[in-house]
Chain A
Amino acid sequence: MSIELRNIAKKFGDFVAVDNLNLHIETGELVALLGLSGSGKTTLLRIIAGLETPDTGEVLFHGEDASDVSVRERKVGFVFQHYALFRHMTVFENVAFGLRVIPRRARPAEAAIARRVHELLKLVQLDFLADRYPSQLSGGQRQRVALARTLAVEPKVLLLDEPFGALDAKVRQELRRWLRRLHDEIKITSVFVTHDQEEALELANRIVVMNQGRIEQIGSAEEVYHHPANAFVYNFLGNVNLFHGRIENGRVFLGDTAVELENTHAHAHPETGKAVLYVRPHLLEIVMKPNGKQTFPATVKSINPAGPQVKIELVAEWGDMVQVEIDHERYQALHLEPGANVFLRPKEQKLFVYSI
């Protein structure tokens, strides 16, 4: 089922939680809502589910206005940020709940309910915990029970609010892959909220980057990562070094040095203004000799060789901290020590210019 949001706005008192937002989600898509804490992600999901009424705008399911459709008739599955499992019911009863509340005429027989519940518990690999209570489960197990409970009613749309929020990195990875597989299998239109950009990039067909109740960019992982629409998106997706400078007659100044840069993706190109230069740590190269105006000097502060890449912290000539990631071979070749004076050459950078 496709979802369309038209001019949705929601205020809490004077606070604008969702600001005139438009979004179309195709049938079968897996969309990530990505944004900082408080950017309105949960509020938006709740509006889609009907748990919150927007002040203006409408939600359309399959092209039809859902404003008058009650929550229980919307057939959405909602996995809550804090699971919201029924604490007084066993895992089995939690999963069976959606089936037990079906009006008697349409309700499956007890045996059919039991079969379906065990099927779902097997799907989330928790069949052996059917008799436990939620308080006796680990976070990851609760998460999967919440998912199984939601799937039991065969929703047409799946809304997941930070499904892996409270879990450790390893379990997250596992569940992430599992959700991806599940989605490939049952092709249900899904929206999941996260503030982990890696999760969004890895899982989603499309990513919606939200900020202060508005959408900053919508696109595939490739698009938002490599072609960010604005400084916020670039800054938000992945580690990034930020250099504040000026642009004068088309020349970029960082500190007192004029830096002439190749491969600069400037968004707007005024000739003069405040400029912010964004460079990802792995797109900075360390060289020992200056190379005209394409490099700038820096001093090595600290080196962390643990991990697949060597992380080096430097201080630029004008005082900004700079993070650089290089591979181990390059690191060996450079013979770097803290205190060494080197030059940095951005291989690719984004320039966002603000008029003064």
Chain B
Amino acid sequence: MVRIALITIAMVFVALFIFIPVIAVFAEALRKGVGAYFAAIANPEARAAIRLTLMTAAIAVPLNVTFGIAASWAIARFDFPGKQTLLTLIDIPFSVSPVISGMLFVLLLGVRAPLGGFLAAHGIRVIFAEPGIVLATLFVTFPLAARELIPIMQAVGSEEEEAAIVLGAGGWQMFFRVTIPNVKWGLLYGLVLCNARAMGEFGAVSVVSGHIQGHTNTMPLYVEILYNDFQFAAAFAVSSLLTMLAIATLIAKRFLERRVVPVKQAQDELAVKVAA
């Protein structure tokens, strides 16, 4: 009885808050017909927003993943002074509101700040320009890959890497043939999460962008502008793209989680055996 009640409650919530809105997004997007839908997406400003979003993700994701691999490897393999501090610092973007993150960059790199002023004097605009958007996105996605990789690296352990070295592998050979393949599912998982966040980020990016149409609008910002402009169909058309990204991310996430978990479990079992 309780079970049925609980399941029903859960289902109703999912339907109410997830399923219906997702359907609504697509329904609204197509309200004025397929032609209007594609016109809204093909609009030059929409295309600029899509381009900027893709570019931001294309820069932020590889950098983030590179940092994630380096940080997680160092943390899992070595003891060094400042390790705990590094672990704490990695988490900062998670604990700070994205809006505040954005304001931090404005404070640091705005034209009136010393550093921002210096850059501006050399013709480099950061705030209210693309570099600011990329920086803000980098900042908010910063912990994603590292957080995902640290426990996996720790679980996998260093024995296989040592085996590779003893067998004559060089540092990079070990890295690409043993270290990376051992964490590849976790890495992909981190990559998917990071990509989703990079494309969907609103708060931090909103603060540093300045909303210059056709220049510093990412997709989420563009949606907001359209919406405030009462262009609902167009707003939902662009939203539907982000929604599709979200759905694709969820599917990839489900698939990857199934791959990542067995690695951890196998390691745990091994650890238990060894302990026994």
**Cross-chain contact A101 with B170 (CB below 8 angstroms):** yes
**Cross-chain contact A101 with B168 (CB below 8 angstroms):** yes
- Check A72/B163 contact, CB under 8 A, given A86-B178, A87-B182: no
Does A82 lie at the interface of the complex (its beta carbon under 8 Å from any beta carbon of B)? Answer: yes
Interface residues of B in 232-276 (CB under 8 A from A): 266, 270, 273-274
Does A135 lie at the interface of the complex (its beta carbon under 8 Å from any beta carbon of B)? Answer: yes
Residues of chain A with a CB closer than 8 A to B229's CB? none
Does B20 lie at the interface of the complex (its beta carbon under 8 Å from any beta carbon of A)? Answer: no
CB distance from B175 to the nearest CB of A (A): 12
Does A245 lie at the interface of the complex (its beta carbon under 8 Å from any beta carbon of B)? Answer: no
Does A109 lie at the interface of the complex (its beta carbon under 8 Å from any beta carbon of B)? Answer: no
Residues of chain B with a CB closer than 8 A to A163's CB? none
**Cross-chain contact B166 with A82 (CB below 8 angstroms):** no
Does B99 lie at the interface of the complex (its beta carbon under 8 Å from any beta carbon of A)? Answer: no
Q: Which of A73-81, A183-191, A218-226, A268-276 forms contacts with chain B?
A: A73-81
Give the residue name and chain of the A residue nearest to B178 (CB). A86
* Selected contact of A72 from candidates B169, B184, B273, CB within 8 Å: B169
Residues of chain B with a CB closer than 8 A to A80's CB? 159, 162-163
Residues of chain A with a CB closer than 8 A to B181's CB? 86, 88
- Check A97/B167 contact, CB under 8 A, given A84-B160, A87-B182: yes
Considering the chains assembled together, what is the distance between the CA atoms of A149 and B170 in angstroms?
17
Considering the chains assembled together, what is the distance between the CA atoms of A49 and B162 in angstroms?
10
**Cross-chain contact B177 with A72 (CB below 8 angstroms):** no
Residues of chain B with a CB closer than 8 A to A84's CB? 159-160, 162-163
**Cross-chain contact A98 with B162 (CB below 8 angstroms):** no
Give the residue name and chain of the A residue nearest to B270 (CB). A82
- Check A153/B159 contact, CB under 8 A, given A82-B270, A101-B177, A135-B266: no
Does B173 lie at the interface of the complex (its beta carbon under 8 Å from any beta carbon of A)? Answer: yes
**Cross-chain contact B165 with A97 (CB below 8 angstroms):** no
* Selected contact of B169 from candidates A78, A87, A97, A166, CB within 8 Å: A97
CB distance from A132 to the nearest CB of B (A): 15
* Selected contact of B164 from candidates A49, A76, A97, CB within 8 Å: A97
Does A102 lie at the interface of the complex (its beta carbon under 8 Å from any beta carbon of B)? Answer: yes
Residues of chain B with a CB closer than 8 A to A78's CB? 162-163, 166
CB distance from A3 to the nearest CB of B (A): 15
**Cross-chain contact B168 with A153 (CB below 8 angstroms):** yes
* Selected contact of B167 from candidates A82, A101, A135, CB within 8 Å: A101
Residues of chain A with a CB closer than 8 A to B167's CB? 97-98, 101, 149-150, 152-153
CB distance from A291 to the nearest CB of B (A): 48
**Cross-chain contact B166 with A86 (CB below 8 angstroms):** no
Residues of chain B with a CB closer than 8 A to A86's CB? 160, 163-164, 177-178, 181
Residues of chain A with a CB closer than 8 A to B274's CB? 82
Residues of chain B with a CB closer than 8 A to A76's CB? 166
Residues of chain B with a CB closer than 8 A to A88's CB? 181-182, 184
Considering the chains assembled together, what is the distance between the CA atoms of A98 and B162 in angstroms?
12
Residues of chain A with a CB closer than 8 A to B169's CB? 72, 97, 101
Does A261 lie at the interface of the complex (its beta carbon under 8 Å from any beta carbon of B)? Answer: no
Does A303 lie at the interface of the complex (its beta carbon under 8 Å from any beta carbon of B)? Answer: no
Contact string against B for A residues 58-90, beta-carbon threshold 8 Å, 1 for contact and 0 otherwise: 000000000000011000111010101111100
* Selected contact of B168 from candidates A72, A87, A135, A166, CB within 8 Å: A72
Residues of chain B with a CB closer than 8 A to A82's CB? 159, 270, 274
- Check A87/B166 contact, CB under 8 A, given A101-B173, A135-B266: no
CB distance from B160 to the nearest CB of A (A): 5
Contact string against B for A residues 120-158, beta-carbon threshold 8 Å, 1 for contact and 0 otherwise: 000000000000000100000000000001101100000
Give the residue name and chain of the A residue nearest to B266 (CB). A135
* Selected contact of B165 from candidates A71, A77, A102, CB within 8 Å: A71
**Cross-chain contact B160 with A49 (CB below 8 angstroms):** no
Does A167 lie at the interface of the complex (its beta carbon under 8 Å from any beta carbon of B)? Answer: no
* Selected contact of B177 from candidates A87, A97, A153, CB within 8 Å: A97
* Selected contact of B166 from candidates A49, A100, A135, A166, CB within 8 Å: A49
Considering the chains assembled together, what is the distance between the CA atoms of A219 and B220 in angstroms?
76
Residues of chain A with a CB closer than 8 A to B165's CB? 51, 71-72
Considering the chains assembled together, what is the distance between the CA atoms of A50 and B167 in angstroms?
12
Q: Output the residue of A49, A76, A87, A102 with the most chain B CB within 10 A.
A: A87
**Cross-chain contact A98 with B168 (CB below 8 angstroms):** yes
Residues of chain B with a CB closer than 8 A to A87's CB? 160, 182, 266
Residues of chain A with a CB closer than 8 A to B178's CB? 86
- Check A102/B168 contact, CB under 8 A, given A88-B181, A88-B182: yes
Give the residue name and chain of the A residue nearest to B161 (CB). A84
Residues of chain A with a CB closer than 8 A to B159's CB? 80, 82, 84
CB distance from A59 to the nearest CB of B (A): 15
CB distance from B168 to the nearest CB of A (A): 5
CB distance from A36 to the nearest CB of B (A): 17
Residues of chain B with a CB closer than 8 A to A97's CB? 164, 167, 169, 177
CB distance from B158 to the nearest CB of A (A): 9
Considering the chains assembled together, what is the distance between the CA atoms of A303 and B164 in angstroms?
53
Pairs across A and B, CB under 8 Å, 15 listed = A51-B165, A71-B166, A72-B165, A72-B166, A78-B163, A84-B160, A84-B162, A85-B160, A85-B163, A86-B181, A87-B160, A87-B266, A101-B164, A101-B177, A149-B167
**Nearest 4 A/B pairs, CB to CB:** A84-B159, A98-B167, A101-B169, A84-B163
Q: A78-B163, A84-B160, A101-B164 are in contact. List 12 more A-B contacts (CB 8 A).
A: A85-B160, A85-B163, A86-B164, A87-B160, A87-B266, A88-B182, A97-B164, A97-B167, A98-B168, A101-B177, A149-B163, A150-B167
Residues of A within 8 A of B (CB): 49, 51, 71-72, 76-78, 80, 82, 84-88, 97-98, 100-102, 135, 149-150, 152-153, 166
